[in-house]
């Protein structure tokens, strides 16, 4: 049985004092969950978030990194730098980075390899636009993004990554994919991983859904056969709402 992994993506929100308060509120609410709880926070919050989350079951992640270990890359942060302060996860290839910051399948692949080399766990984002979905190209596009992101990785490495399927038309729009549609795409992604890495790897790899996940739709999504949790944007900014998503099976 795969565990559920529920990750918040704060995007460019939350000052350190807000981050500390949110984590202090969240920690007691999620302490008994069987799921893995992750918050991916802005770089400037990382240190505060790590200190506040110490001795809790909340793990801390970053939202981006550079693939080089060090060097003349002004403004960039390496996987080793993140690891050195205790960060465990990093989001790679979020659609906003693909759309606004020229992230490509190639840079995503380089970043995934670099993260794994530094023992950081990547949360690799894939997903189609509305136009691609309407043209019947969604499966082809998403499976190709997955293939390219994972190119050159060993079976062991693929076992420690998380894939987040996030249809772009569902991000921040209030439009969630139906649980059937999300589950069906995630099955396709798992099948693609099975084709390349075999049954055991495919059965074990965590594949999340993302796109307007909130407490009112999380239970239905998480009770499907293949959705292993979520990458949550807007609804991860408030402790109470995010805790309800984590504790989806408590009522």
69: annotated active-site residue: no
Nearest to 128 by CA among 165, 175, 180: 165
From the list 94, 96, 132, 188, the catalytic residue is: 94
Cβ-proximal residues to 97 (8 Å cutoff; 6+ apart), any chain: 64, 103
Burial class (CB in 10 A: 0-12, 13-18, 19+), 100: exposed
CB of 200 to ligand PGA, least distance (A): 28
Q: CB-wise, 42 or 197, nearer to ligand PGA?
A: 42
Torsion 20-171-218-91 (CA) sign: negative
Task: Note if 66 is an active site residue.
Answer: no
**Binding positions for ligand PGA, rule: CB under 6 A:** 9, 166, 171-172, 210-213, 231-235
Contact of 89 with 122, CB cutoff 8 Å: yes
Count CA atoms within 13 Å of residue 247 on its CB side. 15
Active-site annotation holder among 132, 166, 188, 192: 166
Nearest distance from residue 193's CB to ligand PGA, in Å?
Answer: 21
**Cβ atoms within 10 A of the Cβ of 155, count?**
12
Closest residue to ligand PGA, based on beta-carbon distance:
233
Separation of alpha carbons 105 and 113, rounded Å? 12
Residues belonging to the active site: 94, 166
């Amino acid at each position: 049985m795969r565990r559920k992994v529920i990750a918040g993506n704060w995007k460019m929100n939350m000052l350190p004092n807000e981050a500390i308060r949110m984590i202090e509120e969240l920690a007691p609410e999620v302490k008994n969950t069987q799921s893995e709880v992750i918050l991916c926070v802005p770089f400037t919050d990382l240190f505060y978030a790590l200190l506040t989350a110490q001795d809790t079951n909340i793990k801390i992640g970053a939202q981006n990194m550079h693939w080089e270990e060090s060097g003349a890359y002004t403004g960039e942060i390496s996987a080793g730098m993140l690891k050195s302060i205790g960060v465990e996860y990093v989001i790679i290839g979020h659609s906003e980075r693909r759309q606004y910051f020229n992230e490509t399948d190639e840079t995503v692949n380089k970043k995934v390899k670099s993260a794994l080399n530094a023992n950081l766990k990547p949360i690799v984002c894939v997903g189609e636009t509305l136009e691609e979905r309407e043209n019947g190209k969604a499966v082809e596009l998403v499976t190709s993004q997955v293939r390219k992101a994972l190119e050159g990785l060993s079976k062991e490495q693929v076992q420690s990554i998380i894939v987040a399927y996030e249809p772009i038309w569902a991000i921040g729009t209030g439009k969630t994919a139906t649980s059937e549609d999300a589950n069906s795409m995630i099955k396709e992604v798992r099948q693609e991983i099975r084709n390349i890495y075999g049954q055991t790897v495919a059965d074990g790899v965590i594949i999340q859904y993302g796109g307007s996940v909130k407490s009112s739709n999380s239970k239905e999504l998480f009770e499907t056969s293949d959705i292993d949790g979520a990458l949550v944007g807007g609804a991860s900014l408030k402790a109470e709402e995010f805790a309800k998503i984590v504790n989806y099976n408590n009522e």
